[in-house]
Structure 1
Amino acid sequence: MRLFLLPVSTRRSLIYCEKLHDKAASERSLLDKITIKANETWVAWEKDEKALLQWKRKVTLYGNQALKRIPYEEWGLKTIPALTAKRKRAILEGREKYHVIFPGLFLHQERVPEILRKLATERQSMHRSKMIWSIVGMPFTIPFMLIPIIPNLPFFYLVYRAYSHWKALTGSKHLEFLLQHNLPTPTPSAELDEVYTAGLMYPTRKISRAAPRPTRTQAEEVARVVEQQTNGGSEDVMVLQRWNGKLIAEQFKLPDMEVEIERAVEQVETSIKAKEELVEEKQELERATAEPGKTAKDSLPKHIVTPNEKTDREIHEKAEEVAKKNIQS
């Protein structure tokens, strides 16, 4: 089985598990059948123009916007299958091979185990608690069953969120089990280095397709420039472009990977942009309130004392004064 560890920025990475071959209809579990049926229904609703006030299309429109807000880390963990007893036995007996593929020039190999361990363990408690709360909330959606024509959408949303958290939780436990047994094997990929380099060298997918493949020397130079832009690791720098997801998916013949990459890039870009805007606002406030060479805190009037600068003795004395006044009154 192949796992892909794809750095989206210099600080954040997406994990993606190569999808196993689809099971034959006779081998599918009840959960597999329900999942397939739900996906088919959702696609049909997206195209349905005959429903009253086109409510089905509107539901899928708002639903897809809600799905975009689900963290890309959760989507990535969901691609890792549950650790069945059969698969666990194969791992322990050494019959199951796992490789983690990553761009060696844009992600140092010594960081791979640390990142994988963080992805495997950091969100487990959160997925467990949110799965439980989704299940607890299901009975409270019963009144929505009284609405005619439209199905109980809040109930189905909670069912989906409980299922999604369960999938992410089982994926994280599978990954944690692999790490406990010194798997998977880190495997740097020259192909990924080339695609990452092309994404940073060229402005569009079309130009990237027409241009010659980057050389190893060019890839090393681009990676060096990215490293410089981080200012010694203090800055988070994007290394993946949204349009580059399709090229990576094509390179490894994994079409489902494209959506995961595009979603991750969009979320990380938004996060970095929001952080930069917050820093700019803080700097503007500093400039607006501080004298030259001073910070805003330095410009506060002398009689104003911030809570951090008060001593325990002063607080205690103030409390005693208030208490005495209350007794006298």
Structure 2
Amino acid sequence: MRLFLLPISTRRSLLYCEKLHEKAVSERTLLDKVTIKANETWAAWEKDSKAPWQWKKKITGYGNLAMKRIPYEEWGLKTIPALTARRKKAILDGKEEYTVMFPGLYLQKEEVPNILRKLATQRQAMHKSKMIWSIIGMPFSAPFMLIPVIPNIPFFYLVFRAYSHWKALTGSKHLEFILSHNLPNLTPSAELDEVYTAGLMYPSRALSRAAPRPTREQAESVAKVVEQQTNNGTEDVMVLQRWNGKLIAEQFKLPDMEVEIERAVEQVENAIKGKEELMEEKMELERATAAPGMTAKDALPEHVKIVGTEEERERRIHEKAEGVAKEGEKK
């Protein structure tokens, strides 16, 4: 089994498990059949323009917005299959192999086990609790079945959330089990280093595709620029662009990975911006009440002083990365 640990920023990473081969129709369980049917129905509703007041398209539109708010960590854990008795026995017998691929220049190898362990254990209690509460809430949504024509949306939403938390919980337990047996083979990927570097060197997907592949020297230079922008590890800096998810997915022939990366990048970008806006608000408040000539920023220790917004840091990374690219072209 192949897993990918993809740093979205210098502090947050997405875990993605390569989907195993599709099961034959005869091998599908009842849960598999229900899941496939639900996905097909949802896709059909998204395109249905004939329903009165276009209620199907509206419901799927609001539903997709709600799904975008589900934490990317949950989506990542859901890609890991449940730990079946058969697979558990194969692990204990040493017949199962697990490989964790990651960009070695943008994620230190010694940090990978701790990140994986955190992803495996940190959210288990929360997923279990929310799964139980979703199940408890199902009977209370039963009265909505009396509404004609429109299906019981609250009930199906609770079913989806219970299933989602269950999938994330089983995925986290699978990951925890393999970590406890020291199974993952940590494999730095030169291909991932190249794609990450290209995403920082070039401003668009089209230009990244047309340009030559970054050399190892260029990749190392850009990685150093990113490290400098973290201000000795005190700042969280984006290392993955939203449009770059498609290039990574294409590189490893994993089309489903693209949407996971795009969702994770959007959530991390919003989290970093939100934190910066909150910090700025606090600074403004303290600035208004500070002594003349003294601001809150001035009172901060040197190692935690703000060094610019995420947009400014990203711009500086791109400028320096473009400089690295131009130097490479001259050589």
The answer as to 2:212 corresponding to 1:212 is yes
- Name the counterpart of 1:2: 2
| Cα deviations by residue, 1:153-173 (Å, 9 ceiling, x for unpaired) | 000000000000000000000
Structural mapping, 1:45-60, within 5 Å: 45-60=45-60
Structural mapping, 1:1-329, within 5 Å: 1-292=1-292, 294=294
TM-score normalized by the length of structure 2: 0.88
Give the alignment's Cα RMSD to 1 decimal: 0.8
The CA distance in 1 between the partners of 2:3 and 2:92, in whole Å, is 18
Q: Runs of 5+ in structure 1 lacking a partner? A: 297-329
Return structure 1 stretches of 4+ with deviation > 2 angstroms: 292-296
Shift of 1:293: 5.1
What is the SS of the residue equivalent to 2:57? helix
The CA distance in 1 between the partners of 2:106 and 2:80, in whole Å, is 23
| Cα deviations by residue, 1:175-197 (Å, 9 ceiling, x for unpaired) | 00000000211000000000000
The CA distance in 2 between the partners of 1:283 and 1:180, in whole Å, is 45
The CA distance in 2 between the partners of 1:249 and 1:23, in whole Å, is 22
| Cα deviations by residue, 1:213-256 (Å, 9 ceiling, x for unpaired) | 00000000000010111111100000000000000000000000
Greater CA radius of gyration, 1 or 2? 1
Name the aligned partner's letter for residue 38 of structure 1: A
The CA distance in 2 between the partners of 1:204 and 1:49, in whole Å, is 34
The CA distance in 1 between the partners of 2:10 and 2:151, in whole Å, is 44
Name the aligned partner's letter for residue 29 of structure 1: T
Shift of 1:292: 2.8
- Name the counterpart of 1:320: none
Q: Runs of 5+ in structure 2 lacking a partner? A: 297-331
The CA distance in 2 between the partners of 1:153 and 1:290, in whole Å, is 52
The CA distance in 1 between the partners of 2:19 and 2:122, in whole Å, is 23
TM-score normalized by the length of structure 1: 0.89
Shift of 1:294: 4.7
Q: What count of residue pairs does the alignment treat as equivalent? A: 296
| Cα deviations by residue, 1:7-47 (Å, 9 ceiling, x for unpaired) | 00000000000000100000000000000000000000001
The CA distance in 2 between the partners of 1:281 and 1:198, in whole Å, is 35
Shift of 1:289: 1.4
What is the SS of the residue equivalent to 2:138? helix
| Cα deviations by residue, 1:296-328 (Å, 9 ceiling, x for unpaired) | 8xxxxxxxxxxxxxxxxxxxxxxxxxxxxxxxx
What is the SS of the residue equivalent to 1:14? strand
Shift of 1:281: 1.1
Name the aligned partner's letter for residue 18 of structure 2: E
Name the aligned partner's letter for residue 237 of structure 1: V
